Structure 1
Amino acid sequence: MHDEDQIPIWLFIGVILVIYGVLIFGAGLYALISPPPPDARVALFDLHADVWWGFFMTVIGLIYVVRFRPRHHAPRPPVHS
C-alpha cells in the first residue's frame, strides 16, 4: 500500500469543520435576523460569538480541505537500474 493512495485524516477533519462552521454560522445569522426576546438572551449575546466562531471554523475547515485534498498524479515511468 502506498502513502499516495491514502486519504489523510486531516481532510475529513476539515470537512467536519466546514459542516459545523456553516451550521453554527447559519444559526448565528438567523439569531441576528430574528433575535430572541431580551429576557431569553444569553450573556454577551451582542458579541455574536456564534457568527464569529462559525465563520472561523468554516475558514479553517476550508484551509484543511484545500491543503489535504487528494491529488491525482501522473503515473511515473518505471526506473531502470
Structure 2
Amino acid sequence: MAFNGHVGSAKQRRHCQFTSCPLCAITADALVIVTEWVQFRALDLGRLKAVMAQPVVVDLRNVYRPEEMAAAGFVYEGVGRGKV
C-alpha cells in the first residue's frame, strides 16, 4: 500500500494501490517516510499508532524529532539518528 499525493504514470499506478494517509498504515508493521510533503509533517500520531499493527516509524527525511515519537509511543529511526 502506498500514499502518493501526485500519482504518476499509468505504469506506476498499475503496480501500487494508492490511498489516503493514515489509511495507508492500517495494520502496517512499519511506516516509512520517504518524502517531506506537508501531509507527513502533521500526522495525527495518536490515530496513526491506533491503526498500526506495530508502532514503528522509519523516517528517511528526519521529519519528526525522536523525542516526540518516543513520547507518542513509537519505535522511531531517522537517518543518522539512533533508535528511540
| TM-score, with length taken from structure 2 | 0.18
Larger RCO of the pair (alpha carbons < 8 Å, separation 6+) = 1
User: Which has more helix, going by share of residues?
Assistant: 1
State which structure, 1 or 2, has the greater radius of gyration over its C-alpha atoms.
1
